Amino acid sequence: MIVRIMGEGQARIAESHLAELNELDDRLMAEVRGGDEAGFRRTLTALLDRVRELGEALPDDSLEPSELILPAGDATLEQVRELLSDEGLIPSSI
C-alpha cells in the first residue's frame, strides 16, 4: 500500500500494518469529533510517526498512485475534520 503524507512524500507500507494504523485513525477521529485539540495533536503525530517508521520511503521522483493520503503534521484540527470520512482518514476497504 502506498501512503502519502502531505508535504513529505510517499512510503510503501505492508498491509499487515493496516490494523495498527486504523486504531490510531479511530482515536484521531474521536478526538477531532470531540474537539480534543491536545489529544488530536498527540494522535496525529503518533499516526504519522508510525507511517514513517513502518514505511519504506519512495524516491521523490516516484510517481506511484497513493492509496491513502494523510495530512501534514502541522495540519489543524479543522483541516483534518474536513478530510475525515465516516471511516476516518483510513477507509477499512483498503
Terminal-to-terminal C-alpha distance of the chain: 8
pLDDT of residue 93: 62
CA distance 40 to 48: 12
Sheet holding 9-12, edge to edge: 56-57, 9-12, 2-5, 68-70
**Chain segment 18-66, per-residue pLDDT in tens:** 999 999 999 999 999 999 999 999 999 999 999 999 999 999 888 889 9
Q: What Rg value do the Cα atoms of the chain yield, rounded? A: 13
Query: Is pTM beyond 0.85 here?
Result: yes
Q: For residue 59, give Cα distances in angstroms to 6, 15, 63, 65.
A: 15, 20, 9, 13
